[in-house]
Amino acid sequence: MKEPITKSEYAKNPRVVAQTVEGQAVLLNLDNGSYFVLNDTGTEIWERVDTMTAAEISNQLARIYAATEAAVAPTIEDFIDRLTKEGLLCEPDTAKP
C-alpha cells in the first residue's frame, strides 16, 4: 500500500496547455503531443493540484461529494500519480518553461 501524500509538492508542467470546456479540462502535452480530457472530478483535482496538498484536496472533495476523506484520498493520490507519470505534473523546481 502506498504511503499517503501529505505534502503535495507538484506544479503543472509549463509545457502542458490546459483549457476547461463545459466543466472538463482538456490538456495537451506539448512535449509529446498527447492530450487528455478530464471528467468533472479530474478537472476539480487539476484546478487545485498546484495550490493545495493532496490531503487538502481530499478534504474539499469529500465535502463536495458527501464522502469521507478516507474514501476519496486513495483515488486522488492515484490520479495525481498518473498525472505525474504522464508528464502533466512535475516537481515545482523543475517547472520551468
**pTM for the whole structure:** 0.84
Distance CA 20, CA 42 (A): 11
Task: Say how many C-beta atoms besides its own lie within 10 A of residue 86's C-beta.
Answer: 15
* Domain 14-86 CATH (choose: 1.10.10, 1.20.272, 1.10.3470, 1.20.140): 1.10.10
Each residue's pLDDT tens digit, 40-86? 999 999 999 988 999 999 999 999 999 999 999 999 999 999 999 99
pLDDT class of 5 with cuts at 50, 70, 90: very low
Q: What backbone phi and psi angles, to 5 degrees, belong to 81?
A: -60, -40
pLDDT at position 94, please?
62
Place of cell 500519480: 81
Domain ranges, ordered by start, for the chain = 14-86
pLDDT class of 1 with cuts at 50, 70, 90: very low
